[in-house]
Amino acid sequence: MNSANYLYLSALLFTIGAVGVVIRRNAIVVFMCVELMLNAANLSLVTFSRINGNLDGQIVAFFTMVVAACEVVVGLAIIVTIYRSRRSASVDDANLLKR
């Protein structure tokens, strides 16, 4: 019985999420990629909990979910605010500080 497969899957998903954050330009898609990375981390926490035979990993994954929910709420509010003033959801268009 080898739980390591889940860890490999988790590493893969995390990497894919990281690529997405770098290459996509739509702020909402970038945000979804961050969610994918958080989920990948959660999968490895749950797997570690199983490998070590105690529930602490699951507790940490639970807290991660709560933090992720907060992050989504505030992040999407920021995206909507930026969209309202700049009429665009692209991360390249929010460059006011550069000028």
Partner 1 sequence: MINYALDLGQTAKPEAVMFYILAPLAVISAIGMLTVKKAVHSAILLAWVMITLAIFYIAQDAAFLGIVQVVVYTGAVMMLFLFILMLVGVDSSESLTETIKGLRWIAITASLGFGGLIISLLGRATLGRQSIGLVDANSNGNVEGLAQLIFSDYVWPFEVVSALLITAALGAMVLAHHERTVKRATQREQSQARFRSGSLAAAAGLPGPGVFALHNAVDVPALLPDGTPAPTSISATLKARGDMLDSAQYQLDNNDNVAEDK
First to last CA, the chain: 58
Using alpha carbons, select from 38, 78, 99 the residue that is nearest to residue 91.
78
Site size with partner 1, rule: CB under 8 A = 71
Least separation in angstroms between residue 52's CB and partner 1 is 6
Q: Is 86 in the site for partner 1 (CB under 8 A)?
A: no
Q: Which residues contact 42 (CB under 8 A, 6 or more apart)?
A: 61, 64, 65
Least separation in angstroms between residue 30's CB and partner 1 is 10
Interface residues for partner 1 in 27-56 (CB under 8 A)? 28-29, 31-33, 35-36, 39, 42-43, 46-47, 49-56
